[in-house]
Amino acid sequence: MLPHEIEQESFRIIRSEMEANGFSEAELAVVVRVIHATADFDFQRILRFHPRAIEAGIEAIRRGATIVTDVRMVQAGISQAILAEFGGQTVCDIAHPEVREQARAQGLTRSIVAMRRNAAHIDGGIVAIGNAPTALLEVVRLVREEGIRPALVVGMPVGFVKAAESKEELLTLDVPYITAVGRKGGSPVAAATVNALLRLARNRQ
């Protein structure tokens, strides 16, 4: 089988094994791609979509919005070829020397500093978090305290310390979001979510 045939057969199998659900067809495209990236059917039960999430994400992509990521793994997993069709770019400053220096001086995580550094890109753009709960908590703070309005927050931090809590905080915001409640998430989940949106945006052309 050719690569695209393997992918399509995988998607067919996933859809055939999923439980009955109330996802829209566009939301389902995201869920299926996340399950494809993880082989974990729990995501059909724990993914949460803000009512405007899909449309807001597609609109942002189509106008060439910047996608800010918390770690390089999320950035690397996003389809740069499709993003380039819309004139978009990804930004990840977690390893920037100034971020390292400021984090050390201020006693903060690099993830917090990197989100603050990219507040202007996050405002009106997409932020995709697949690793660091502190990055997501900082985005929540930027929205609440500084009036930053992301077009979409893909909040998928993974782990045992503040991961679930950060996502619960995201759910309280009146900004479009896609998240996975609880401890599960990760860079592949965040990247797969963005890639599903990129393909939906391409199909609108």
Q: Which of 36, 50, 96, 121 is catalytic?
A: 36
Q: Which CATH class is domain 45-203?
A: alpha beta
The token pair at 194 is 């963005």
pLDDT digits 0-9 by tens, 77-97: 999 999 999 999 999 999 999
pLDDT digits 0-9 by tens, 136-152: 999 999 999 999 999 99
Q: Where exactly are the structural domains of the chain?
A: 45-203
Beta carbons of 112 and 55 less than 8 angstroms apart = no
Which pTM does this prediction carry?
A: 0.95
The token pair at 56 is 């807001």
Q: Does the active-site annotation cover 4?
A: no
Beta carbons of 76 and 200 less than 8 angstroms apart = no
Helices 25-38 and 53-62: angle between axes, nearest 10 degrees = 80
Rounded Cα distance between 81 and 16, Å, is: 30
Rounded Cα distance between 55 and 59, Å, is: 6
The token pair at 116 is 């603050």
Residues forming a β-bridge with 128: 69, 154
Ranges of the chain with pLDDT below 50: none
In the chain, at which residue ranges do the beta strands (DSSP E only) sit?
Answer: 47-49, 66-69, 89-91, 126-129, 152-155, 177-180
Query: pLDDT at position 205, please?
Result: 66
Contacts of 74 (CB under 8 A, 6+ apart): 92, 128, 129, 130, 131, 187, 190, 191, 194
Query: pLDDT at position 59, please?
Result: 98
